Structure 1
Amino acid sequence: MSRIRRLPASAVAAATALALALTACSSKAEDDGGDNGSGGGDGASGELETGAGVTDTTITLGALTDMTGPYATLGASITQVQQMYVEEINGAGGICERELALEVRDHGYDPEKAISAYNELQPNVLAFPQFIGSPYVTAVKDQVDSTDMVPIVAQAWTASLLGSPYIQMVGATYDVETINAIDFLVSEHGLAEGDKIGQIYFEGDYGENALEGAEYAAEQLGMSVVGQMIKPTDEDMTAQVSALAQEGVSAIVISAGPRQAASIAGVAAAAGLNVPIIGNNSAFAPQLLATEAAPALLNNFYIAASTLPIGDEAAKDIADSYLAAYPDATLDNGVLAGYNAIEIITEAARLACDNGKLTREGLTEALRTMSGFPGLGVTHDFSDPANPSTLETVILKPDADAPGGMVVHREAAVSDIAGSFPRE
């Protein structure tokens, strides 16, 4: 069944098909309690139970984004495509006889702003289809699990978020993604026992979780990791690349952002360090191909991700709709990340409505029935919050001629090491 929906009418058709295909829990339970409130309406089984963020006419969702910090390009794409999605759904009649509303706050990747924005929006939304920044999602995790119980699709993939009934990641966690990336370096670039892998990584949950995966893979393969920890505000990677060159690394893993990736690739090329470079899923933006780093990025640079690129034929309808709504926007994989996230929340809301329980608890229960959600290139299983939605990773490569600046280099696969990676 197709998930790609360019026109509102097809959006409803595909969503209805998915809702019917999924098995949902139909038991009626009590409301979330606390400040979650109640409203009116009719579900498929009779009177509809509602809660926070739901009135007789509106379902309010929240977006905590970064449109002015290190992930500004990603945040803009995610937010705009989610706004587009909301307009399409509303144009097709809404969900559960209600229109969607998306409340957006830009935290600029600042911890104080991120937590403040979460606390401001949390009492008034059904769910968050966007929350950028693993450190900030981690910071509210205990509050979410113990009192707020608000479903969140995190644009973060740190393994420390696993196990929460309410926080969902779409894709492999950073550790698994990095293990698959190193497996790719072994199979395609000949890395072997005794080799050193350089890793430049952000301090905090993102980079340190990716480092855990790299160190596990290296141990299994008889290699070693030479780590260089940086801050998100660090952009000149000359010192870090020089240190890795002195260590004689055979490859570099980037667990940082696009600005750092551009510097790493450019500095390595200038220094004659001709080794493969691979980044985690958020380490690339197509705008980099308009910088001086472009030749280096096009030469020997890859990205590990849990989705096809926005320029793939399978994503054409989404890309076309996005550019029609935002003609001056740049296509990147934030478009798909944002689309997938809000689609997951709205499909769960449809199921919750059918079950007569359009509450945070009802939406969470519905989400856990979605064990075969069709992603672009990867199928996701949201039934067990203790595990990533997938262990598979797609390897992408920059291409200046491709919409969104990337093409598939290797289709989705999971390494034996990732499959055996121990989880606490």
Structure 2
Amino acid sequence: MEIVILAVVIALVAIGAISGLVVSSRKKKQLPPQAPPAAPTITAPPAEPHVGDEAETPREEPRRTIEEVDLPTADEAVETPVAIEDPVVAEAPAPAVEIPEPTAGRLVRLRARLARSQNSLGKGLLTLLSREHLDEDTWEEIEDTLLTADVGVAPTQELVERLRERVKVLGTRTPEQLRTLLREELLLLVGTEFDRAVKTESGLETPAVVMVVGVNGTGKTTTTGKLARVLVADGRSVVLGAADTFRAAAADQLQTWGERVGARTVRGPEAGDPASVAFDSVKEGIAEGADVVLIDTAGRLHTKTGLMDELGKVKRVVEKHGPLDEVLLVLDATTGQNGLVQARVFAEVVDITGIVLTKLDGTAKGGIVVAVQRELGVPVKLVGLGEGPDDLAPFEPEAFVDALIGD
């Protein structure tokens, strides 16, 4: 019995020892207690460093925690976002359509500007004719004055001969008589019998088609844009065709002119086919029911053959829709006899029906009007008298001669 009790005691002691070891082992495996988390810190980007004498001692700056930052409420977060228009990407507003100045009497209104540059011719002739004795030297001076003004040799000789005869018959000459005499002779030289109206009525269901030709640098594209203003001022609706596809920005320039008066511009790819643009322009003019289609053509003159082929093709393509009503040649009045050479080349390529003289305000060589009409047998229909948008005026012989002579 004692032996049994002893065995039980030994077993209990053994169990207790084993339990102590297990508990001790578990206590050793427990992790140390974790420290409480620190508050988050927001680090601001470093300020731009200072160097040299401007160096500063770093100083503490206030910081804000995430809890201190104001965030949108739940209601604000679900509101429909409002689009903010990017001023750079935003489409430019359409330009305001201008109302061009009426063309009736425009040359008369610009007479003072024309007279300032032209009256050296008229005043010079009046001064010479007012001499008491008109000897051969005086008549030679009169001839030189006319030639210097680019009147041309043949017209100069004709004018001097007529003046000689009339002065001889007149005898005593008062300033008023000389002015009347010179005005009549210059009017005869410039010509009053020409039809100087730009043809803007085709007489058909299709629009009138006006093709503008000339060397680049004469103001051809600008003249086309100004002509659109002239036509719009006269109550015509216009479509512009940018068929000068070989000169950079020519189409942009023409389109800007068109937008100012509400005229549509038809254009093609750069260096594209001019005839294709001309065809599309007339087609668009027909679709819109426009009164006039103005076609600006390329002005290259490096080879007459290339120019002839190009303008000839444009002409043929346009005439598939209907007749070409007007071909206007733009000449720079300051080029004088060189302008006549250009005129001859274009006259051989296309049938010129009218002339536009630009930069007439910047030269005293108003005789180019006479010379170019004699050379081509076609009238000057428009003249450019300045850089303003409404400085293109219908040519009026009487107003022009009055400006030549001066008051």
TM-score by length of 1: 0.30
State TM-score, norm by structure 2: 0.31
Higher strand share: 1
Q: Which has the higher helix share?
A: 2
Structure number with bigger Rg: 2
